[in-house]
Chain A
């Protein structure tokens, strides 16, 4: 089983739609979780950290479910500019971050 798994997509959604991605992780001792965004041929950029209590930043909401070992990202009112690859990132211990392979989102007008 991979340490971090994501549905590769692509998720094709119209502008204004709500879309959600899940990411599962295998190490129950994992302590920190992040969502990064990567545009085509660019470097990854932090979208948000994921806290146990969940967190929200504008149209973006991240949740952590430790019992089922997954994190989620919800994007409301999708914009064309949200089109990107969304990377789930997990600290698996030993100062090691593991990135998922990413989920591709395409928002269409």
Chain B
């Protein structure tokens, strides 16, 4: 079975632009979480979605938004990009809601903001 897939792999954007990142969970998994990982730090939780509803939110500004589709894939949107948004964005899927279960991570999207 395919693992978690994310697209694109790499992305370069300019300050002020908007970006959309995409994630497809493992087949049968209904929960998707998004994380931001800056070099030298652990992943920081952004959102969790389960059955198309937001179930958790981290300490990120409103410029960050996400949604989950009926097929359980997900998009993360970031508006008005700042240089500090440059990071690896990781998507993780889990078979059930909540965060007490193993998270399976995708390879990530590396975003560079110039």
Chains A and B bind each other: yes
**Chain A contacts to B: CB under 8 angstroms:** 4, 31-32, 34, 42-46, 49, 87, 89, 91, 94-102
A102 to B103, CA, bound (A): 17
**Chain B contacts to A: CB under 8 angstroms:** 33, 35, 40-45, 48, 55-58, 90, 97-100, 102-108
Known contacts: A43-B90, A43-B108, A44-B90. The answer to whether A97 contacts B103 by CB under 8 A is: yes
* CB closest chain-A residue, reference B35: A99
A42 to B43, CA, bound (A): 12
Are B41 and A91 in touch, CB under 8 angstroms? no
Known pairs A43-B105, A44-B103, A99-B44. 10 more at Cβ < 8 A? A4-B42, A31-B100, A43-B106, A91-B100, A95-B48, A96-B48, A96-B57, A98-B45, A99-B42, A101-B40
Residues of chain A lying within 8 A (CB to CB) of residue B45 = 96-99
Known contacts: A43-B105, A43-B107. The answer to whether A102 contacts B42 by CB under 8 A is: yes
A45 to B33, CA, bound (A): 14
